Amino acid sequence: MKVAGVIVEYNPLHNGHLHHIQKTRENTGADVLVAVMSGYFLQRGEPALVSKWLRTKLALLAGIDIVVELPYAFSTQKAEIFASGSVSILGHLGVTDLCFGSEQGEILPFENTITIIDQYGEQYDHQLKKYLKEGYSYPKAHALAFQELKTSNHSLIDLSQPNNILGYHYLKSVKEQALPIKVSTVKRIGAGYHDVHMNNGSIASATSIRKAIFEHGNLEEIYRAVPPFTYQYLKSAFDRNQIYRWDDFYPFLKYRLSIETAESLSSIYEAEEGLENRIIKIMQDSNTFHTFMDKLKTKRYTWTRLQRLCTHMLVNAKKEEMLHALNEKKASYIRLLGMNQNGQAYLNHIKNQCPVPIITRLKKDKDNDPLMSLDMKAAKVYELAAISNQPKNKINNEFMQPPLRYDELNHHFLSDIK
């Protein structure tokens, strides 16, 4: 049986994602398609545009058979840790093929790049440390160090491109974890990952889609760039004031920073080199999150790196508990978010062989797992913004919400969002 896996955020699910899903099925011949999806907070340190439950619903409507959650400790990380956690979950679920989108579009250059970095590891590490000392961010130092390698092999990837970086780490994680997973890639079409402006075509970046929603206050501009079901559900969420951005969480972050000392904030994951002092000082004169970040950003610390730190401060994710959660570099459980009938049949087939528990509903007395404890804190923080935006909002309680069940034959949900 062919079981293909994709690693996603769907923030929101757009036509480019739909293309990736369709090409993954076509290229792998998958009988089952599994998505590992980030929960409430994402890799770039942002809150999800809409809840993980609504994004699960969109994924099932787009053709995914099984949606499981990437725990907070992995989802809010640099590419290496993000990839390691995601790939471990795919391995636990018996996935045979992993397909990712990339700027490169061919898998051989990824294989070559891993070989070259392994071969010139000492030289690469030296150059990386040099550029970091010069004040470059880790992603930029990574790309510059790679460019310094003396090699005649021209079939390599561009490590300055965000999806190429992720793809490199997906493949590397599969090799490090010795998983029997065949890795392939689909070339991204249309807009680039960081494009902030909507184009005239049917493919736009998630960044530009979010920007259009936030800046123009309506969804008409994004209609051509998303599947009809995405537009329908986003429109409904927008009308109910259930679309979120960092500004919705900024008052809670300011409150957290106002009652904490710099010493206590230094225990937060990724707080280093006195960043907590700088954050407290700048926060006092910043009325919006964007203003705050503009003042905070430096050459050494990228917007993304600082957003992640702010997310960890908001969630109160301490170094000790994050490092404990990340100790094995693998997920210790699998949180099932949704499935269709095909996905349910596959889970019934493999549940006794899965090396970690597959959790369908959280129990209040079972949050002693460090990964789960962090997920619960993230969920509670996300709920704060939902209640603040609209006091009458119906919150998807983490302890009450069962996995969504989609009947793909009759096109309706047997178990829906509560």
d(CA 256, CA 265) in angstroms, rounded, equals 10
Coil, helix or strand at residue 200: coil
* Token pair 């998983």 in the structure block, residue: 179
Q: Are 334 and 383 in contact (CB under 8 A)?
A: no
User: Is 163 annotated as belonging to a binding site?
Assistant: yes
Q: Is 13 annotated as a binding residue?
A: yes
17 annotated binding-site participant = yes
Locate all alpha helices (DSSP H) within 93-161, ordered by sequence. 108-119, 121-133, 138-148
Residue 302: helix, strand or coil by DSSP?
A: coil
Calculate ∠ Cα 101-55-368, nearest 5°.
Answer: 100
C-beta atoms surrounding 256 within 10 Å: 18
Residue 235 CA neighbour count, 13 Å, CB half: 12
18 is in an annotated binding site: yes
DSSP character at residue 305: H
Q: Which two tokens stand for residue 364?
A: 């209040």
Residue 190 is assigned to a ligand binding site = no
- Residue 189 annotated as lining a ligand binding site: yes
Dihedral Cα 23, 27, 33, 35, nearest 10 deg: -60
9 is in an annotated binding site: yes
Instruction: At 72, list the tokens.
Output: 């907070």
- 101: annotated binding-site residue? yes
Q: Is residue 20 marked as binding? A: yes
The amino acid at 81: I
Q: How many CB atoms lie within 10 A of CB 161?
A: 19
Question: Which residues pair with residue 284 across a beta bridge?
Answer: none
**Is position 348 annotated in a ligand binding site?**
no
What is the separation of C-alpha 206 from the centre of its chain, rounded to a whole number of angstroms?
A: 12
216 is in an annotated binding site: no
Does 15 appear as a known binding residue? yes
**What residue numbers does the annotated binding site for ATP cover?**
7-20, 101, 163, 188-189
**What residue numbers does the annotated binding site cover?**
7-20, 101, 163, 188-189
